[in-house]
Protein backbone atom coordinates (compact mmCIF):
# COMPACT_ATOMS: atom_id res chain seq x y z
CA UNK A 1 0.00 0.00 0.00
CA UNK A 2 1.17 3.52 -0.78
CA UNK A 3 1.80 6.47 1.53
CA UNK A 4 -1.63 7.95 0.82
CA UNK A 5 -3.48 5.00 2.37
CA UNK A 6 -4.47 5.71 5.99
CA UNK A 7 -4.74 1.98 6.65
CA UNK A 8 -1.06 1.46 5.84
CA UNK A 9 0.04 3.37 8.93
CA UNK A 10 -2.37 1.76 11.39
CA UNK A 11 -0.94 -0.68 13.90
CA UNK A 12 -2.95 -3.66 15.10
CA UNK A 13 -5.14 -2.49 17.93
CA UNK A 14 -4.73 1.23 17.23
CA UNK A 15 -7.66 3.13 18.78
CA UNK A 16 -7.89 6.87 18.17
CA UNK A 17 -10.69 8.95 19.72
CA UNK A 18 -11.60 12.53 18.85
CA UNK A 19 -14.56 14.78 18.08
CA UNK A 20 -16.59 15.73 15.03
CA UNK A 21 -15.26 19.20 14.32
CA UNK A 22 -13.24 21.54 16.50
CA UNK A 23 -14.42 25.10 15.79
CA UNK A 24 -17.52 25.71 17.95
CA UNK A 25 -18.18 29.09 19.62
CA UNK A 26 -19.56 27.42 22.75
CA UNK A 27 -16.26 25.60 23.28
CA UNK A 28 -14.59 28.85 24.32
CA UNK A 29 -14.44 28.42 28.06
CA UNK A 30 -15.21 24.70 28.44
CA UNK A 31 -12.52 23.60 25.96
CA UNK A 32 -10.56 26.62 24.73
CA UNK A 33 -9.23 29.50 26.83
CA UNK A 34 -11.06 32.86 26.61
CA UNK A 35 -8.05 34.47 24.95
CA UNK A 36 -7.63 34.12 21.20
CA UNK A 37 -5.91 30.88 20.19
CA UNK A 38 -5.45 28.78 17.08
CA UNK A 39 -8.23 26.33 17.93
CA UNK A 40 -6.98 23.56 15.67
CA UNK A 41 -3.45 23.76 17.09
CA UNK A 42 -4.84 23.80 20.64
CA UNK A 43 -7.16 20.87 19.89
CA UNK A 44 -4.35 18.84 18.30
CA UNK A 45 -2.29 19.24 21.47
CA UNK A 46 -5.07 17.47 23.37
CA UNK A 47 -6.52 14.89 20.95
CA UNK A 48 -4.93 12.52 18.41
CA UNK A 49 -7.54 12.83 15.65
CA UNK A 50 -10.45 14.94 14.38
CA UNK A 51 -13.33 14.38 11.99
CA UNK A 52 -13.74 17.36 9.66
CA UNK A 53 -17.45 18.06 9.28
CA UNK A 54 -17.15 21.39 7.46
CA UNK A 55 -16.32 19.61 4.19
CA UNK A 56 -19.93 18.39 4.17
CA UNK A 57 -21.22 21.95 3.82
CA UNK A 58 -18.53 23.64 1.75
CA UNK A 59 -15.23 22.42 0.37
CA UNK A 60 -12.24 24.58 1.34
CA UNK A 61 -9.38 25.37 -0.96
CA UNK A 62 -6.61 22.75 -0.84
CA UNK A 63 -4.36 25.47 0.60
CA UNK A 64 -6.53 25.36 3.72
CA UNK A 65 -6.09 21.63 4.24
CA UNK A 66 -2.36 22.10 3.62
CA UNK A 67 -2.36 24.64 6.46
CA UNK A 68 -3.99 22.05 8.74
CA UNK A 69 -0.97 19.82 8.19
CA UNK A 70 1.43 22.64 9.10
CA UNK A 71 -0.53 23.61 12.23
CA UNK A 72 -0.72 20.14 13.78
CA UNK A 73 1.94 17.71 15.04
CA UNK A 74 3.07 14.80 12.83
CA UNK A 75 1.22 12.25 14.97
CA UNK A 76 -2.16 14.00 14.43
CA UNK A 77 -4.70 12.45 12.04
CA UNK A 78 -7.73 13.65 10.08
CA UNK A 79 -10.96 12.11 8.82
CA UNK A 80 -13.26 14.16 6.58
CA UNK A 81 -16.89 14.04 5.55
CA UNK A 82 -17.97 13.74 1.92
CA UNK A 83 -19.74 16.89 0.67
CA UNK A 84 -23.52 16.93 0.74
CA UNK A 85 -23.56 17.64 -2.99
CA UNK A 86 -22.54 13.99 -3.48
CA UNK A 87 -24.69 12.35 -0.79
CA UNK A 88 -27.77 14.53 -0.39
CA UNK A 89 -28.12 16.43 -3.67
CA UNK A 90 -26.80 14.05 -6.34
CA UNK A 91 -27.64 11.06 -4.12
CA UNK A 92 -24.55 9.13 -5.28
CA UNK A 93 -25.34 9.43 -9.01
CA UNK A 94 -23.29 11.29 -11.64
CA UNK A 95 -21.02 12.55 -8.87
CA UNK A 96 -17.66 12.18 -10.61
CA UNK A 97 -16.90 15.91 -10.85
CA UNK A 98 -17.78 16.55 -7.20
CA UNK A 99 -15.76 13.52 -6.11
CA UNK A 100 -12.76 14.88 -7.99
CA UNK A 101 -13.05 18.22 -6.16
CA UNK A 102 -13.25 16.42 -2.81
CA UNK A 103 -10.15 14.38 -3.60
CA UNK A 104 -8.25 17.56 -4.48
CA UNK A 105 -9.11 18.98 -1.06
CA UNK A 106 -7.94 15.80 0.66
CA UNK A 107 -4.70 15.60 -1.31
CA UNK A 108 -2.51 17.62 1.11
CA UNK A 109 -3.64 15.46 4.04
CA UNK A 110 -3.09 12.25 2.12
CA UNK A 111 0.32 13.28 0.79
CA UNK A 112 1.42 14.02 4.34
CA UNK A 113 0.25 10.60 5.54
CA UNK A 114 -2.17 12.30 7.92
CA UNK A 115 -5.51 11.09 6.53
CA UNK A 116 -7.33 8.02 7.89
CA UNK A 117 -10.79 7.90 6.28
CA UNK A 118 -13.49 9.71 4.33
CA UNK A 119 -16.94 9.57 5.92
CA UNK A 120 -19.81 8.94 3.50
CA UNK A 121 -22.90 9.82 5.56
CA UNK A 122 -25.98 8.84 3.56
CA UNK A 123 -29.23 10.80 3.89
CA UNK A 124 -32.16 9.23 5.78
CA UNK A 125 -34.32 9.73 2.68
CA UNK A 126 -32.13 7.51 0.48
CA UNK A 127 -33.18 3.83 0.36
CA UNK A 128 -30.78 1.06 -0.55
CA UNK A 129 -30.46 0.45 -4.28
CA UNK A 130 -27.77 -2.17 -5.00
CA UNK A 131 -27.12 -0.84 -8.50
CA UNK A 132 -26.66 2.76 -7.39
CA UNK A 133 -24.50 1.75 -4.44
CA UNK A 134 -22.26 -0.50 -6.53
CA UNK A 135 -21.85 2.09 -9.28
CA UNK A 136 -20.82 4.78 -6.81
CA UNK A 137 -18.50 2.55 -4.78
CA UNK A 138 -16.77 1.60 -8.03
CA UNK A 139 -15.84 5.27 -8.65
CA UNK A 140 -13.93 5.53 -5.36
CA UNK A 141 -10.14 5.26 -5.61
CA UNK A 142 -9.09 1.86 -4.32
CA UNK A 143 -6.44 3.39 -2.05
CA UNK A 144 -8.93 5.79 -0.38
CA UNK A 145 -10.17 4.52 3.01
CA UNK A 146 -13.94 5.15 3.16
CA UNK A 147 -16.47 4.61 5.96
CA UNK A 148 -20.20 4.55 5.14
CA UNK A 149 -22.86 5.68 7.62
CA UNK A 150 -26.31 4.27 6.95
CA UNK A 151 -29.23 6.39 8.15
CA UNK A 152 -32.06 4.46 6.51
CA UNK A 153 -32.98 0.96 7.65
CA UNK A 154 -33.07 -0.68 4.19
CA UNK A 155 -29.26 -0.38 3.95
CA UNK A 156 -28.84 -2.73 6.89
CA UNK A 157 -29.21 -5.94 4.93
CA UNK A 158 -26.70 -8.66 3.98
CA UNK A 159 -26.49 -7.48 0.36
CA UNK A 160 -25.48 -3.99 1.48
CA UNK A 161 -22.84 -5.23 3.91
CA UNK A 162 -21.55 -7.59 1.20
CA UNK A 163 -20.98 -4.60 -1.08
CA UNK A 164 -19.01 -2.85 1.66
CA UNK A 165 -16.82 -5.93 2.05
CA UNK A 166 -16.36 -6.27 -1.70
CA UNK A 167 -15.05 -2.71 -1.99
CA UNK A 168 -13.20 -2.67 1.35
CA UNK A 169 -15.41 0.05 2.86
CA UNK A 170 -16.08 0.30 6.60
CA UNK A 171 -19.55 0.17 8.11
CA UNK A 172 -19.88 3.12 10.50
CA UNK A 173 -20.91 1.94 13.96
CA UNK A 174 -23.38 4.59 15.10
CA UNK A 175 -24.78 5.44 18.50
CA UNK A 176 -27.92 7.54 18.11
CA UNK A 177 -31.70 7.44 18.42
CA UNK A 178 -32.53 6.68 14.78
CA UNK A 179 -31.23 3.11 14.39
CA UNK A 180 -29.94 0.42 16.77
CA UNK A 181 -26.19 -0.10 17.05
CA UNK A 182 -24.85 -2.44 14.35
CA UNK A 183 -21.18 -3.29 14.93
CA UNK A 184 -20.73 -5.05 11.59
CA UNK A 185 -17.05 -5.22 10.59
CA UNK A 186 -16.64 -4.90 6.82
CA UNK A 187 -13.14 -3.42 6.35
CA UNK A 188 -9.65 -3.62 7.82
CA UNK A 189 -10.47 -0.58 10.01
CA UNK A 190 -13.52 0.35 12.10
CA UNK A 191 -15.23 3.74 12.37
CA UNK A 192 -17.50 4.76 15.28
CA UNK A 193 -19.66 7.87 15.78
CA UNK A 194 -21.53 9.00 18.90
CA UNK A 195 -24.41 11.34 18.03
CA UNK A 196 -26.15 11.48 21.41
CA UNK A 197 -29.78 10.87 22.37
CA UNK A 198 -31.06 14.39 22.99
CA UNK A 199 -34.59 15.54 22.25
CA UNK A 200 -35.44 17.21 19.98
CA UNK A 201 -31.77 17.70 18.98
CA UNK A 202 -29.76 14.46 19.10
CA UNK A 203 -26.45 16.20 19.60
CA UNK A 204 -27.62 18.20 22.63
CA UNK A 205 -26.68 15.38 24.97
CA UNK A 206 -24.18 14.45 27.66
CA UNK A 207 -23.19 10.79 27.84
CA UNK A 208 -23.23 9.40 31.38
CA UNK A 209 -20.32 7.49 32.89
CA UNK A 210 -22.40 4.31 32.66
CA UNK A 211 -23.12 4.83 28.96
CA UNK A 212 -19.46 5.38 28.22
CA UNK A 213 -18.40 2.34 30.24
CA UNK A 214 -20.76 0.18 28.15
CA UNK A 215 -18.69 1.07 25.07
CA UNK A 216 -15.41 -0.19 26.51
CA UNK A 217 -15.95 -3.90 25.65
CA UNK A 218 -17.41 -3.02 22.24
CA UNK A 219 -14.40 -0.93 21.31
CA UNK A 220 -11.95 -3.50 22.59
CA UNK A 221 -13.66 -6.15 20.48
CA UNK A 222 -13.47 -3.91 17.40
CA UNK A 223 -9.80 -3.21 18.10
CA UNK A 224 -9.12 -6.94 18.38
CA UNK A 225 -10.59 -7.64 14.94
CA UNK A 226 -9.33 -4.63 12.93
CA UNK A 227 -6.06 -2.82 12.33
CA UNK A 228 -7.46 0.46 13.71
CA UNK A 229 -10.56 1.97 15.29
CA UNK A 230 -11.39 5.65 14.75
CA UNK A 231 -14.10 7.10 17.02
CA UNK A 232 -15.72 10.54 17.06
CA UNK A 233 -18.13 12.27 19.43
CA UNK A 234 -20.63 14.53 17.67
CA UNK A 235 -22.49 15.85 20.77
CA UNK A 236 -20.80 19.24 20.55
CA UNK A 237 -23.15 21.31 22.75
CA UNK A 238 -21.33 22.82 25.78
CA UNK A 239 -18.15 21.02 24.74
CA UNK A 240 -19.65 17.66 25.79
CA UNK A 241 -18.00 15.91 22.84
CA UNK A 242 -14.56 16.86 24.12
CA UNK A 243 -15.19 15.90 27.75
CA UNK A 244 -16.98 12.65 26.87
CA UNK A 245 -14.14 11.73 24.52
CA UNK A 246 -11.52 12.27 27.21
CA UNK A 247 -13.59 10.28 29.71
CA UNK A 248 -13.97 7.30 27.37
CA UNK A 249 -10.25 7.35 26.57
CA UNK A 250 -9.54 7.21 30.30
CA UNK A 251 -11.96 4.28 30.69
CA UNK A 252 -10.06 2.46 27.94
CA UNK A 253 -6.70 3.32 29.42
CA UNK A 254 -5.67 5.20 26.27
CA UNK A 255 -3.24 8.04 27.00
CA UNK A 256 -4.38 11.22 25.27
CA UNK A 257 -1.88 13.86 24.14
CA UNK A 258 -1.22 16.68 26.59
CA UNK A 259 0.77 19.66 25.45
CA UNK A 260 2.54 21.98 27.89
CA UNK A 261 0.07 24.85 27.35
CA UNK A 262 -3.07 22.87 28.14
CA UNK A 263 -5.43 23.31 31.05
CA UNK A 264 -8.06 20.76 32.24
CA UNK A 265 -11.25 20.72 30.20
CA UNK A 266 -13.23 21.76 33.27
CA UNK A 267 -10.50 24.00 34.69
pLDDT tens-digit map of 15-27? 999 999 999 999 9
Q: Does residue 257 form part of some domain?
A: no
263 or 70: whose pLDDT is higher?
Answer: 70
Q: Does residue 209 form part of some domain?
A: yes
Q: Does residue 265 form part of some domain?
A: no
Question: In this model, does residue 103 exceed pLDDT 60?
Answer: yes
Q: What is the pLDDT of residue 255?
A: 85
Which tens digit of pLDDT belongs to each residue from 43-89?
A: 999 999 999 999 999 999 999 999 999 999 999 999 999 999 999 99
Residue-range definition of the domain harbouring residue 64: 6-252
CATH number at 112 reads: 3.20.20.410
Q: Does residue 261 form part of some domain?
A: no
Least confident range from 48-52, 69-73, 166-170, 176-180: namely: 176-180
Q: Does residue 153 form part of some domain?
A: yes
Confidence of residue 151 (pLDDT cuts 50, 70, 90): very high
Q: Is 135 helix (H, G, I), strand (E, B) or coil?
A: helix
List CB contacts of 253: < 8 A, sequence separation 6 or more: none
Q: Does residue 185 form part of some domain?
A: yes
Taking CA 206 as the corner, what is the angle to CA 201 and CA 210, rounded to the nearest 5 degrees? 130
CB atoms within 10 A of CB 229: 25
CA distances from 65 to 84, 97, 109, 240 (A): 18, 19, 7, 26
Residues of the chain above pLDDT 90, percent: 88
Q: Is 69 helix (H, G, I), strand (E, B) or coil?
A: helix
Closest CA to 221 of 248, 195, 252, 245: 252
Are the C-beta atoms of residues 45 and 262 closer than 8 Å to each other? yes
220 or 6: whose pLDDT is higher?
Answer: 220
Mean pLDDT score, 167-195: 96
Which tens digit of pLDDT belongs to each residue from 219-258?
A: 999 999 999 999 999 999 999 999 999 999 999 999 888 7
Q: Does residue 259 form part of some domain?
A: no
Strand spans (E) along the chain:
14-20, 49-52, 77-81, 115-121, 146-149, 170-175, 189-194, 228-233
Q: Does residue 27 form part of some domain?
A: yes
Confidence of residue 262 (pLDDT cuts 50, 70, 90): very low
Q: What is the pLDDT of residue 77?
A: 98
Question: In this model, does residue 261 exceed pLDDT 70?
Answer: no
Are the C-beta atoms of residues 234 and 121 closer than 8 Å to each other? no
Closest CA to 197 of 181, 218, 175, 182: 175
Q: How many domains does the chain have?
A: 1
Does a cis peptide bond (omega within 30 degrees of 0) precede residue 200? yes
Amino acid sequence: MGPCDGRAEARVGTLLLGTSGWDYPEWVGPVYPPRAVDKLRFYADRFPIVEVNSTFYRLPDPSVTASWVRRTPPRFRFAAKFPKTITHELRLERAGEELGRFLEVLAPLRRAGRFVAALLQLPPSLPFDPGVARAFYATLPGELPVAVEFRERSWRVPASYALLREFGLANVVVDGPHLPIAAEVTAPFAYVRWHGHGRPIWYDYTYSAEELAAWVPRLRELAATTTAVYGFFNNHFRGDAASNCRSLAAELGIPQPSGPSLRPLDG
